[in-house]
Structure 1
Amino acid sequence: MTLDTQFDKAVTIVRGLPSDGPVKPSQDQKLQFYGAFKQATEGDVTGPRPGAFSFEAKYKYDAWKKLEGKSKDDAKAEYVALLKSVLEANSDDDSKKYLAELEAAA
């Protein structure tokens, strides 16, 4: 399997995490996922930083901007590693299942 396959699986897992489930990434981790995803799929951020009152858009822009210059493959690897760390911090059955799925895609 390839990094692309593992990245795609990680994206599927993150997008499918139930909001009321046992695996709850922090707000900072969610922004890290966002930045790594955008860098992995689109490359460096473009355009101006959103205005002062667009808080969510500004935080997302900043999370993506932090990864400027990072290759798409490095951003994919970072996304996968972040998911692994989030899942390994939990000891519930869902986390173990997601980790097994992620490892199977490796």
Structure 2
Amino acid sequence: LNRATVEQFEQAKGKLSTLRNDPGNEVKLKIYALFKQATQGPCNTPKPGMLDFVNKAKWDAWKSLGDEARQQYCNLIGSLVEAEGPSSAQEAASPVGSGATYKTLLVTTEDDITTIKLNRPAKKNAITTEFVSNIYKSLQYLLYTHTHTLFTAGAGDFYCSGNDLTNFQLKEGGVEEMARQGGELLR
């Protein structure tokens, strides 16, 4: 198993502050839990009361983690930074630790189980041509790993809201160019 070094973990912590977009509550909760597990170990605090919803959610997330928290934290932060693409304040992120990163997907592998999470929560994970291309690339990546199980999920409140309507806007080159690009995507 690959395990992130302390240096990789510190780099991932620094990259977290460079995110421009809110990754959504589900992802932030996962980040919190992974950070707590990686820095403090297994959950050892008393369970909050049932009416303390925020702290109970944090406690549940932390309590559910295993030993690979540092590596998972690095993978998740690397994927989030990569999903935003380069900015003037940062270079394009390179994958941290094991797992592949894509602009619109979070791909993590643990114990021979790979999870592909659609990662456009602000757009309800609506499908774009880039999304389809990234899914195809991630499936090709899986051919070279030792994954035995594949699990898909969606970041945020929705698994997927369907096609992004911007897919149907006429672009430069008109209908013919869109048809050519669609044909290339389906190959």
In structure 2, the partner of 1:45 is 43
8 Å Cα contact 1:88-1:95 kept in structure 2: no
Higher fraction of strand: 2
Asked which structure has the greater CA Rg, the reply is 2
Q: How many Å apart are 1:55 and its aligned residue?
A: 1.2
* Paired amino acid for 1:4: V
Matched positions, count: 94
8 Å Cα contact 2:82-2:92 kept in structure 1: no
In structure 1, the partner of 2:5 is 3
Q: Given the alignment, which residue of 64, 67, 76 partners 1:66?
A: 64
- Note the aligned Cα RMSD (angstroms): 2.6
Secondary structure of the residue aligned to 1:25 is: coil
How do 1:1-106 residues align onto structure 2 when only pairs under 5 Å count?
Answer: 3-14=5-16, 16-17=17-18, 22-67=20-65, 70-71=66-67, 74-93=68-87, 97=91, 99=93
TM-score by length of 1: 0.73
Q: How many Å apart are 1:29 and its aligned residue?
A: 0.8
Structure 2 alignment gaps of length 5 or more: 98-187
Structure having greater relative contact order (Cα 8 Å, sep ≥ 6): 1
Structure 1 alignment gaps of length 5 or more: none
Q: How many Å apart are 1:95 and its aligned residue?
A: 8.5
CA deviation profile, 1:42-76 (whole Å, cap 9, x unmatched): 11101321111211111110110110xx22xx211
TM-score by length of 2: 0.44
* Paired amino acid for 1:36: L
Percent identity (aligned): 32
Higher fraction of helix: 1
For the structure 1 residues 11 and 36, does the alpha-carbon distance in structure 2 shift closer, same or farther, using more than 3 Å as the test? Answer: same
